[in-house]
């Protein structure tokens, strides 16, 4: 049987998008699917793609839709499509979706897909004229798109309500994760010792890029409220990004710098999440955050904002608490309740691990994608 040749295109291999593509490339049946990836090199997952033998095509792209470098990326994609035949081009990210879909349509690729990890016109911090332009652009790109894969129902609903496309053109496939990589809480104290945190001190933490989307400033404001109610607590912030200096200054201005630990970027993020008593996610918007799945798989109770696809993963009152965005005082209340209620952290952590085991396993995701690809390959 002839293999189905698939090319994934993304502006970056970082974050949840990169992990999603990596899992697809790693676990799809190689006797049926020939998977290749095109993205801007120099990201943290590059070596992992090479380790599993995936064909990589370096393409000049940036995450910014305004960069002139993306023109070169578009030309490179056209050249790639002239040289190589692909049955399916599956695009990801905003820039990857724009360049990839248009180039694939020009070169008459049989099947063109786009995974909805977010709608640029729907980002709360985007300038209004920019949002209008992105919305018009997405309506045009619908003519270049045979099908969409939404990573959450929320992403699907936004696209339909905005008039971008129709319901029958969007499938929902949730992320899956490799459960064997995520140990349930096992009492490992090595990270606490490394950071100089006493065994009887609570650790409330978060992780992610230091960008406006992640609402890290709200987490620090919430930390002040928590510290006023609970004295023996440290706040662990794992990650890096352009807002790091501003966040460090904010913690000093709020007089909680002694209680906040910025670890910088860590490749072994899971080790740091393991040492947390509570995992927090204060994002302003999300599609379906991998980091949340990972924290839940690590048996952590979660306090998160009720945005995007987060409520589709985290069950309020069972695995943690869902709070409105930009309300650090209310967010803090969820953290304080978990710290003060005996046994609640453990109960919610156990619930979260079971939830991931039952609904967000890698193999479930892989099977759904394989069925989708085969359906389009048989009837393009």
Average pLDDT over residues 282-305: 97
**Residue 139: which domain range?**
4-176+361-378
Asked whether residue 42 carries a pLDDT value surpassing 80, the answer given is: no
pLDDT tens digits along 187-212? 678 899 999 999 999 999 999 999 99
Instruction: Quote the pLDDT of residue 187.
Output: 64
Do 253 and 369 lie in one domain? The reply is no
**pLDDT band (50, 70, 90) for residue 21:** very high
Average pLDDT over residues 150-171: 98
Do 148 and 217 lie in one domain? The reply is no
Do 275 and 369 lie in one domain? The reply is no
Q: What is the DSSP string of 224-241?
A: HHHHHH-SSEEEEEE---
Average pLDDT over residues 289-293: 96
Q: What is the DSSP string of 255-285?
A: T-GGGEEEEE--TTHHHHHHT-SEEEE--S-
Do 166 and 183 lie in one domain? The reply is no
**pLDDT band (50, 70, 90) for residue 129:** low
Do 117 and 195 lie in one domain? The reply is no
Instruction: Quote the pLDDT of residue 95.
Output: 94
Q: Per the structure block, which two tokens stand in for 98?
A: 């724009």
User: Computed over its alpha carbons, how large is the radius of gyration of the chain?
Assistant: 21
Do 346 and 366 lie in one domain? The reply is no
Instruction: Quote the pLDDT of residue 64.
Output: 85
CATH of the domain at 169: 3.40.50.2000
Instruction: Quote the pLDDT of residue 9.
Output: 97
Do 197 and 138 lie in one domain? The reply is no
**pLDDT band (50, 70, 90) for residue 16:** confident
Do 252 and 151 lie in one domain? The reply is no
Average pLDDT over residues 132-155: 96
pLDDT tens digits along 56-83? 999 999 888 889 999 999 999 999 999 9
Do 12 and 148 lie in one domain? The reply is yes
Are the CB atoms for 315 and 351 separated by under 8 Å? yes
Instruction: Quote the pLDDT of residue 184.
Output: 66
Do 330 and 253 lie in one domain? The reply is yes
Do 42 and 185 lie in one domain? The reply is no
Average pLDDT over residues 250-261: 98
Nearest to 226 by CA among 348, 340, 343, 347: 340
Q: Give the torsion through C-alpha atoms of 84, 89, 94, 98, to 10 deg.
A: 70
Average pLDDT over residues 357-368: 97
Asked whether residue 128 carries a pLDDT value surpassing 50, the answer given is: no
Asked whether residue 127 carries a pLDDT value surpassing 60, the answer given is: no
pLDDT tens digits along 227-244? 999 999 999 999 999 999
State the first-to-last Cα distance of the chain, in angstroms, to the nearest integer: 17
**pLDDT band (50, 70, 90) for residue 305:** very high
Burial of 113 (0-12, 13-18, 19+ CB in 10 A): buried
Cα(216)–Cα(223) distance, integer angstroms:
10
């Amino acid at each position: 049987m002839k293999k189905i040749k698939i090319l994934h295109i993304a502006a970056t291999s970082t974050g949840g998008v990169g992990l999603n593509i990596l899992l697809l490339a790693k676990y799809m049946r190689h006797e049926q699917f020939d998977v290749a990836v095109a993205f801007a090199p120099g990201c943290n997952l590059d070596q992992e793609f090479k380790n599993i033998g995936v064909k990589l095509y370096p393409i000049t792209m940036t995450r910014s839709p305004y960069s002139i470098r993306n023109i070169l990326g578009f030309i490179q994609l056209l050249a790639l499509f002239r040289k190589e035949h692909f049955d399916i081009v599956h695009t990801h990210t905003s820039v990857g979706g724009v360049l990839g879909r248009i180039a694939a349509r020009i070169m008459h690729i049989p099947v063109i897909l786009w995974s909805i990890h977010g709608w640029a016109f729907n980002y709360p911090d985007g300038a209004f004229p920019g949002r209008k332009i992105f919305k018009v652009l997405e309506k045009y790109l619908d003519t270049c798109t045979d099908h969409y894969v939404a990573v959450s129902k929320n992403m699907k609903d936004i696209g339909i309500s905005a008039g971008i496309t129709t319901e029958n053109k969007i499938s929902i496939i949730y992320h899956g994760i490799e459960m064997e990589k995520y140990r349930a809480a096992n009492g490992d104290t090595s990270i606490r010792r490394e950071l100089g945190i006493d065994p009887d001190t609570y650790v409330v933490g978060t992780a992610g890029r230091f960008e406006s989307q992640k609402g890290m400033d709200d987490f620090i404001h919430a930390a002040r409220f928590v510290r006023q109610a609970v004295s023996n607590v440290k706040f662990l912030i794992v990650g890096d990004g352009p807002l790091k200096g501003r966040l460090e200054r904010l913690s000093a201005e709020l007089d909680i710098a002694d209680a906040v630990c910025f670890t910088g970027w860590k490749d072994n993020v899971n080790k740091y999440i393991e040492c947390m008593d509570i995992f927090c996610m204060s994002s302003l918007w999300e599609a379906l955050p991998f980091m949340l799945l990972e924290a839940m798989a690590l048996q952590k109770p979660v306090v998160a904002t009720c945005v995007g696809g987060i409520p589709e993963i985290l069950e309020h009152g069972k695995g943690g608490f869902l709070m409105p965005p930009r309300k650090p005082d209310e967010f803090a209340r969820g953290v304080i309740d978990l710290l003060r209620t005996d046994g609640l952290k453990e109960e919610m952590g156990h619930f979260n691990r079971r939830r991931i085991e039952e609904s967000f396993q890698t193999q479930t995701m892989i099977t759904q994608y394989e069925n989708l690809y085969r359906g389009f390959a048989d009837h393009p």
